[in-house]
Amino acid sequence: MNALKRLQCRLQGRPYLDKKKLKACGKGVRIGVDCLVKFPERVEIGDYCRVGSYCFWHAEGGLRIGRNVIFGPRTTIWTANHNWRDPNCLPYGTDDIMAPVVIEENCWICLGASIVPGVTVGEGAIVAMGAVVTKDVPRLTVVGGNPAREIAVRDEKTYANLKALGKTLLIERAGQGILD
């Protein structure tokens, strides 16, 4: 976003994510409006990723995103949680538990999906709309539901062929001038 967009967001009291504040941000990354990212200095985003509008990411425990990952709007990612097992306080203790989230390359995280601390979403995986991911997602697996469970597996041969040919959506669009 340019300086005018940043100023408009601030004047309207809306969140604005400055890519320069991220730990790392690859080329061709597009971030939608009104994304709120807590601890942006702990977020690494690979090349040619797209983040849908209105996301909320709490990255205190660290967040690493591979290249060519697409996030739908309103995704939620948490990398820290309260320690409810702490015997000294109710409803939870004073110390948080940090656990990084890793999303490997060529993934699609659909509208409204939520990912909890410590999860790895494997290469080429898809997280369906509204899914709540509480465990690691194997590569090429499609998960959905609450809690998320396997609903399909992508074809390994097709995936490998497309990857070898460099047929990735955002890179294709960038080559066609659809993205900058």
Q: Which residues pair with 108 in a beta bridge?
A: 70, 126
Q: Are strands 50-51 and 80-82 parallel, antiparallel or unpaired?
A: unpaired
117: its two tokens: 């601390």
Residue 58 bears catalytic tag: no
Q: Which of 19, 23, 38, 82 is catalytic?
A: 82
Q: E strands within 16-157?
A: 24-25, 30-31, 36-38, 43-45, 50-51, 56-58, 63-65, 70-71, 76-78, 80-82, 96-98, 101-103, 108-109, 114-115, 120-121, 126-127, 132-133, 141-144, 149-153
Distance CA 146, CA 116 (A): 12
Phi, then psi, of 70 in degrees rounded to 5: -115, 130
Active site residues: 82
